[in-house]
Amino acid sequence: MIHDSLIRERLVTGDKTAADVTRDISRPILNQPSSAWKIGFTLSLIFLGIFGVSLFWTVWTGIGVWNINKSVMWGWDITNFVFWVGIGHAGTLISAVLLLFRQKWRMSINRSAEAMTIFAVVCAAMFPVFHMGRVWVGYWALPLPNAFGSLWVNFNSPLLWDVFAISTYFSVSLLFWYIGMIPDIATIRDKVKTKTAKFWYNFFSMGWTGSTRSWARYELVSLILAGISTPLVLSVHTIVSADFATSVIPGWHTTIFPPYFVAGAIFSGFGMVATLLVVARKVMNYENYITIGHLEAMTKIIMVTGTLVGIAYLTEFFIAWYSVVEYEQYAFINRATGPYWWAYWSMMSCNLIAPQVFWFKWARTTPWFIFIMSIVVNVGMWFERFVIIVTSLHRDYLPSSWVMYSGSLTEVGLFLGTFGIFFTCFFLFAKFLPVINMSEVKTILRNRE
């Protein structure tokens, strides 16, 4: 039975009507860009330029311009790859997993989180692709017959699984995002005035009219896409973790990696969602749609997943001791007390200790504080990947192969540059597409159960 909820807090405040929702959400699209948007977009373009220069230098000279070497053969590049893939996962979690669990608070944030997924996966894909060195033969990673015979790709390698996983994840996320957006594109189509805008929104709305028949199929397709995206998102980060876990390198060769990586991905993804939305709700005046209640729910997830990864860090240590394998034990003691101790303790304090502050309601409901904490989470999760990769590699079995590693200027430029890609895409998205799912939000205006 459907009735008005007496106890649940409203998900959308300000007594909004369906027409208000359309007006509020389509305002940035129908009006000229604000000065905040212009400043943000210009900054993003500058970072995009840094990416372009760093990438050009990498391809022109070769990946020797990176500081990776024969011991630390993965450095900032794969750190950044895992960092960005992880960020992407919150989008799918919000749109798919929370849809399956019928969590209605996801409706105000799923669109931007899904957009974040797609842009983050694009950023992530840059690193392994350009790490190949000769990027122009990158298509060799696909299952095509070799030019010199019929030698095929190696299906036993997790690196190949990654090719399939990341490309599937990107395509399915894009489809999910697009299908979810069609009704809203149709709404914008019926609001815009200029001929060009009308043409493009009409083109992408695919003739949507809001027929009950279409809605019935749309809801079924959304549910099935959510159902298949959930194991997909788990498989993707499991496979990313298998890149490490299937090797025989102390510090990588652990069975805890898949769940630990998935929890870390959700943690970092929610960190980035919080970073984006705390700013967006203020700048775009969406405080009635992305309420303190939404922020609070996100911080709770951040706290739980942060604690989960924290437990994983401690379990790794315990298992290294329990295994009685001296190389494993050394790898972990070296992480915490070796030359990269600062990275390890940055990770521990940002990911395990800092999120515990969300036990306090004040911390969960104060936007500026959540913003700072979301940055802390992002920094911590970058360090987690750096710790896993660099501390495990820099002291090989042979002491003659022991090296220190720090990113070169080009590597730093590439990493900062991916923020350029990410935010350029995000600003364009915020200008041309509805940041909040209008058709779904309209269903929760009455706070029904």
Partner 1 sequence: MGLVDKNLSLRNRNKMLIGVWEDEDALLSATQAVVDKGVHIHDVFTPYPVHGLDRIIGVKRSRLARIAFFCGLTGLSLMFTMIWYMYVKDWPVNVGNKPVRFSPSWIPVMFEGTILCTAFGMGIFFFLRNRMLHGIKNDLLDERQTDDRMIMTIETCEGMDEKGLIDLMKEKGAVETREFHQGVQTVI
Residues interacting with partner 1, by CB under 8 A?
Answer: 2, 17-19, 22, 143, 149-156, 158, 160-161, 164-165, 168, 171-172, 175-176, 179, 182-183, 186-187, 189-191, 202-221, 224-225, 228, 231-232, 235, 239, 242, 438-440, 442-443
User: Based on CB atoms, which residue is closest to partner 1, 172 or 389?
Assistant: 172
| Ramachandran category for residue 436: left, alpha or beta (phi over 0 → left; psi -120 to 50 → alpha) | beta
Which residues on neighbouring strands pair with residue 448, listed in sequence order?
Answer: 4
User: Based on CB atoms, which residue is closest to partner 1, 207 or 339?
Assistant: 207
State the minimum distance, in angstroms, from the CB of residue 404 to partner 1. 35
State the minimum distance, in angstroms, from the CB of residue 38 to partner 1. 28
User: Based on CB atoms, which residue is closest to partner 1, 58 or 187?
Assistant: 187
Cβ contact 444:104 at 8 Å: yes
Compute the radius of gyration of the chain from its Cα atoms.
23
Alpha-carbon torsion (413, 58, 240, 330), positive or negative: negative
User: Based on CB atoms, which residue is closest to partner 1, 143 or 339?
Assistant: 143
User: Based on CB atoms, which residue is closest to partner 1, 180 or 355?
Assistant: 180
Cβ contact 98:106 at 8 Å: yes
State the minimum distance, in angstroms, from the CB of residue 212 to partner 1. 5
Sequence-ordered alpha helix ranges (H) in 132-193: 158-189
Contacts 24+ apart (CB under 8 A), 193-196: none
d(CA 389, CA 400): 19
Candidates 50, 209, 183, 212; CA nearest to 107 is 183
- Distance between alpha carbon 50 and the CA centroid of its chain, in Å? 21
State the minimum distance, in angstroms, from the CB of residue 288 to partner 1. 17
User: Based on CB atoms, which residue is closest to partner 1, 39 or 142?
Assistant: 142
State the minimum distance, in angstroms, from the CB of residue 285 to partner 1. 19
State the minimum distance, in angstroms, from the CB of residue 412 to partner 1. 33
User: Based on CB atoms, which residue is closest to partner 1, 298 or 433?
Assistant: 433
- Distance between alpha carbon 282 and the CA centroid of its chain, in Å? 22
d(CA 131, CA 81): 10
d(CA 120, CA 399): 38
For the record, the structure tokens of 17 come out as 């009507």
User: Based on CB atoms, which residue is closest to partner 1, 118 or 421?
Assistant: 118
**Burial bucket for residue 264 (CB in 10 Å: 0-12, 13-18, 19+):** buried
State the minimum distance, in angstroms, from the CB of residue 188 to partner 1. 9
State the minimum distance, in angstroms, from the CB of residue 8 to partner 1. 18
Non-local (6+) Cβ contacts of 30 within 8 A are: 188, 191, 192
User: Based on CB atoms, which residue is closest to partner 1, 232 or 266?
Assistant: 232
State the minimum distance, in angstroms, from the CB of residue 161 to partner 1. 4
